[in-house]
Every structure is written in C-alpha cells, then in structure tokens.
Chain A
Amino acid sequence: MSQKLIDAITDMRENDALSITDEMLQSGTNPLDVLEACRKAMEVVGQRFEDGDCFVPELILAGEVLKQISEKAKPLMKEQAVSAKDLGKVVIGTVEGDIHSIAKDIVAFMLDVSGFEVTDLGVDVPPVKFVESVKETGAAVVGLSGFLTLAYDPMKATVKALKAAGLNEVKVMIGGGQVDEQIREYTGADAYGRDAMAAVALAKQWLGG
C-alpha cells in the first residue's frame, strides 16, 4: 500500500494519491506510516528534479498533494509525530527591497520536506531580521533569495550584517534567477545555488545531513 501511495505521488497522479490515502487510513494504517510514505515520495521527486526529470510544476503539485494528505492524516494521529526535522536549522527569506515569494517558498518547502527545520522570514526582510532570527533559532545556515538584480546589494548587506554580529560560523547561500557565481563573490556569501535542490544539497553539505 505504502509503495502504491509513493508511486501515485511521484507519478503526479493526484486523485489516486488521495484515494489511496483514504483507503489506507480507513483500513487502519498508522497515519505516521502514511506521512512516512509521503516523505519517501518527496525524496524521489527531489531526486528527479535534481536529475532534470522533474520541474517546478511537479514540485508545486507534489507540495499540494502532500498538504492534502497531511490534512487527512494529522487529525487521526494519536501520538505526536516525532520530529523528523533533525538535519538542522535553516533561516530563509527574500532580501530587503524585494517582495517576491514564489522562489523562496519553493526553496523553503524543499528544505522542509528534506528534513530541515526552516524558519521562513517572508519577503522584504531587512538584514537585522536575519541576524535576530539566527540568534534566536541558532540556525547554522541562512538562505537569501532575490528575484531582481536590486537584491544584489541587500544580499551583500545581509552577509555583512551577519558577520558584524559575530555570526561568522553561519553559512550563507544565495539564489534567484539573476544570481550567479559572480554575485556570490560580490556579496561575500558562501555559496550560490541554481535551484531548490541545490539549496538542499548545500544545506546537507554544511550540516552534514
């Protein structure tokens, strides 16, 4: 059954995935097993994205399916789900002056389903907010997203602010459609990632996941 659910999710058969979930839950499958199948399915989707066999529509659809399945499973759960988020903490946001959320949301979602505890600061986030959040959460990785070239300078300012606050150990990754290696160098960030899975790979590399 679990495998059928995994296949339905990874083949992007939304209706099948939902009906299999219903069947599983009605026949008394532990909701935690259902969620575990989802996690495995997302691993496959992520891998396919990395391999160039899956694209943004599939990430978005899989995310949507996942949301619906957890809405079905969560109310039936007796025990609290043991947090699978043990890979480490990441703070993410779209930098100051930039109000775009779509890319940042996809990156945050992929980090989340990959097992990171993600603090999403939203959009138009000033440097001090990143600093405060890192201090509060103890996150070891910060992700900065920016849609437009106007984000270059705020990214640079954010990296600087983190350093100025003494958070030298924190690794900073940046990304967005107009971000590349030259901008990584310009901003002083530790790495730049081309897409959402690159963000996951970087975080894993740094946090040893």
Chain B
Amino acid sequence: MFAIPENWGELTARERQDARINSWALAQIEFASTEAEQGYRKRTQMIKNVVQLKKPERVPVMPWAGVYPAEYGGITVQEAMYDYEKLGDAWKKFNADFVPDCLVSAALIGPGKAFDMLDVKNYHWPGHGTPAGTSYQCVEGEYMTADEYDLLIADPSNYFMRSYLPRVLGALEPWQMLGPWTDIVELPFVGLALIPAGIPPVQQAFQKFLEAGQAIMEWISAVGPIEQTSVASLGVPPTIGGFTKAPFDTLGDTLRGTRGIMLDMYRQPDKLIAAMERIVPIAIDMGVRNATAHDNPLVFIPLHKGADGFMSNKDFEKFYWPTLKAVLMGLIEAGTVPYLFVEGGYSQRLDVITDPDIPAGHTVWMFDQTDMKEVKAKLGGWACFGGNVPGSLLKAGTPQEVEAYVKQLIDDVAQDGGYILANGAVLDNTTPENLHAMIDTGKTYGVYG
C-alpha cells in the first residue's frame, strides 16, 4: 500500500510521481540475498530512469509473457489455470531461468475453478471450449445491446451489476432481479429494496458468488507467494501496479463488441461519446486505486480498437483519443505512470498521441507492429517507449535472427535512453533459445557506455 503523504495536495504531478516511484523502488522486502536486493534496486532505478527519459546503466528488458511459461515449464495451460502448485513451479522457473527486468506474473492465468463456478460465458478456456495447451480466448458478442446506452450512462455500476454481469457470468444471471442499491434511501426501503435478496434463485446466485470468492481466496493465497518468491529471490520488480482501459475499448471490447461499437460510431455517435465520457473517472479510479494498493506506480493500459485500420485518423481524434487522453491526464495528475501497450500498428496515430498537453516523462508506450524509427522520431524526448520484437520472429525465427533484430533495434532507437526492450505481442509461442536470444542480447548489447 502506498501511503499518501499529508502534503499530497501541494505536490506537483512530478513530485507525486517521484513519491510513488521511490516508494516502489525502496520497498521493504525480505530479499533472499543481498544480490537479489541489489538487483531489485538496480532494476527499479533503471525503470525510473527510462520513465524520466534518462539513460539507465543499460536497456531494461521487460518481456510480456502470456501462457508461454506453462509450455516452458512442461505443463498445460489447463494445469496452470487449475493447479496452483504447478503454476508456481512453472512461473518461478521461467523467471529464474530468464531473469528479465520485470516480474513475469502468474496472476493473469487463473483462477480456473472460479471461472467454472461463475460459469463465465464471454471466454472459452482450456477444458471449456479450447484445447488444454493454449490460451483462453474471448467470445465476440454484444454483451450490451445497442439500446442500453442510457442505462449505462445513468449508472454504470448499476448497469454492470444488473445487466452486464448477469449475461457474462452465468451463475449471476439472477442478479438481473436485484434492485439498484440507490433505492435504499430511508429505513423503510431497506426492507422493500432487498426483497429480491430473498428470492431462491438470487439466494443461489449469492451462494455461488461466495463459493467463487472462496476459490479466489485459495488462488490468490497461492499466487501471492509465487510472486513474492520470484521478487525476493531474483530481485525482479513487479511492473504492473494497476490496470485500466481506454474508454473506447471498454465499450468496444467489453460491452458492445467490435461490430457493435463500429455501427454505433455511425448510428449513435453522441451516445457513444457520452458513455465514454461517463467512464473516464471510473477508468482513472481503477488505475490509481490499484497502483496505490500495490504500491507500484505503473498502470498498464492495453490499447485495442484505435489501431491503424480500425478507424480513420479523423475518427481516432473524435472517438478514441479524447477520453483516452482524459484518462492519461488523470493518472498522471495522481502521480501514476500510464504504461501503455500499443497493440497492432500505430504509425498513423503518432502525431495525435504525442499531444503537447501530456507532460514529458510521465508515460510509457510499448509498441507491437509500429515502425520503431518513426516512434523514436516522434516520441523521443517526450515519452519512454519500447517493444516491437515480433511474435512471428520469436516463433519461427532462429536465435541468430532474433539477436540480429534486437541489435538493430538497439542501434536504431535506444541510443538516447528512455527505451525499454520488449516483444511486440504477448508471448504464447516461442522457443527457449529465441527468448534467451532476445533477453540476453538486450542485457549485453544494451549496456550504455
């Protein structure tokens, strides 16, 4: 937990950022060795330097990993989702063998048991529609219908509880019968408003809810120590303090789906914009609250449906950017560091995202398929950037090719600091040799003289 100092109201965004980064970098952890402690301090310092656009001692290497640690550890994804001992062995082994500059977290994989109990409908996962050895996958759908914007805008939490969640979590379907909490405005309404809580299906739904909570507690009690072991023994810092999304993606991925949101851009643009604006403070709170709880300034934000090809630049500026920018400004104001994962290609958007209102040294942009020289030309001196080692290369290339690619990347764009080496797409498929080639080349070739 980050303790907000008393004079917080008087601090500038930069001072707040410093306070948050320092708290994370100086965290009191029981390290297994002085070496591990030094490693942790060194890595957090490198990351602080790149965020603040300075040259670190070397390029930080911060790979994204998806389910690859399972294959590497000799288990299936299904096992990783359900058997937390196996999950722990695999993820600890992965971190220990590759020693990246960030913790590769086991927390994004499970808890399979809770997914079963809640009867998750908007994803398939191993044993539930996808093979044992591969990632869970989303099921495209319109989980919010086109005529529900007013409901969402009026009260997003109420909408999630009584409309969205009952659709995507089968066990909570009876929650549709609940009334809004805001009905409970005077004593007599305690009784009247809670009548639905006595209806048998609603009671069963809450029963399942509690059981899932139990399963989630078992999971997190296992995952917490897995992460702590890696951090304490290897000195690899966790680099995801919070998580949030661009409001357009909350609407487009989560609620309306690809087809739905794209039609809304034409059929009901004003409602779409109003809904995104409604979500801005919620998105900021989600990021800041978790960054504070985890005492870690970095707020991960995957960018989805604003990529090249997903809309024109004009629409990007009208629909995607304004509310994303508002979220970024809110996060920066609170002293957190937006850590954006710019998925797909973003060549067309670089002029828009390098918005002069966003202060230099307050954001991190990790790219997937965008040309990195262009990125450097546009973002250099304004924001930390990185990413781009292709998933195709890591899967189908040779270690020599990976090494050559990484060296070229470092030559091209790393020279002034403010740069992080990473792969472009979340890593599910590679070979140990190729991954070593990426990480080890970064560590040796990326030393600043």
Contacts and interface: CB of A to CB of B under 8 A. Distances in A.
Bound pair (A, B) = yes
Interface stretch (A29-37, A98-106, A162-170): A98-106
Contact of B425 (A56, A64, A98, A178): A178
Contacts, number: 85
Interface of B: 124, 129-131, 134-135, 137-140, 258-259, 262-263, 265-267, 309-312, 315, 344, 390-393, 395-397, 425, 428-429
B390 A97 contact: no
Contacts of B312: 53, 55
A128 interface: no
A56 B259 CA distance: 9
Contacts of A57: 262-263, 265-266, 310-311, 315
15 contacts: A56-B258, A56-B310, A57-B262, A57-B263, A60-B262, A61-B266, A97-B134, A100-B137, A100-B138, A148-B135, A149-B428, A152-B395, A178-B392, A178-B425, A182-B396
B239 to A, nearest CB: 22
A102 B139 contact: no
Interface residues of A, number: 30
B392 A180 contact: yes
B134 A150 contact: yes
B67 to A, nearest CB: 9
Given A12-B266, A99-B124, A186 B139 contact: no
Contact of B309 (A99, A101, A178, A195): A195
10 closest cross-chain pairs (CB), A and B: A57-B262, A186-B396, A182-B392, A149-B429, A150-B134, A60-B262, A149-B391, A183-B392, A180-B392, A99-B137
Contacts of B344: 177
Contact of A182 (B263, B393, B429): B393
A99 B139 contact: yes
A53 B137 CA distance: 31
Contacts of A147: 137
A14 B266 contact: yes
A186 B393 CA distance: 10
B429 A152 contact: yes
A103 to B, nearest CB: 9
Interface string A159-197: 000000000000000000111101101100000000100
B140 A100 contact: yes
A150 B130 CA distance: 11
Interface of A: 12, 14, 53, 55-57, 60-61, 64, 97-102, 147-150, 152-153, 177-180, 182-183, 185-186, 195
A147 B139 CA distance: 12
Given A56-B309, A64-B263, A100-B137, A148 B396 contact: no
A53 B309 CA distance: 10
Contacts of B129: 99
Contacts of A99: 124, 129-130, 137, 139
A14 B267 contact: yes
A37 B264 CA distance: 25
A150 B428 contact: yes
A150 B135 contact: yes
B431 to A, nearest CB: 12
Given A100-B140, A149-B395, 13 more contacts: A56-B262, A57-B265, A57-B315, A61-B266, A64-B263, A99-B124, A102-B140, A150-B134, A152-B392, A180-B392, A182-B390, A183-B396, A185-B396
Nearest to B123: A99
Interface centre among A53, A56, A186 (most CB of B within 10 A): A56
Contacts of B396: 152, 182-183, 185-186
Contacts of A98: 137
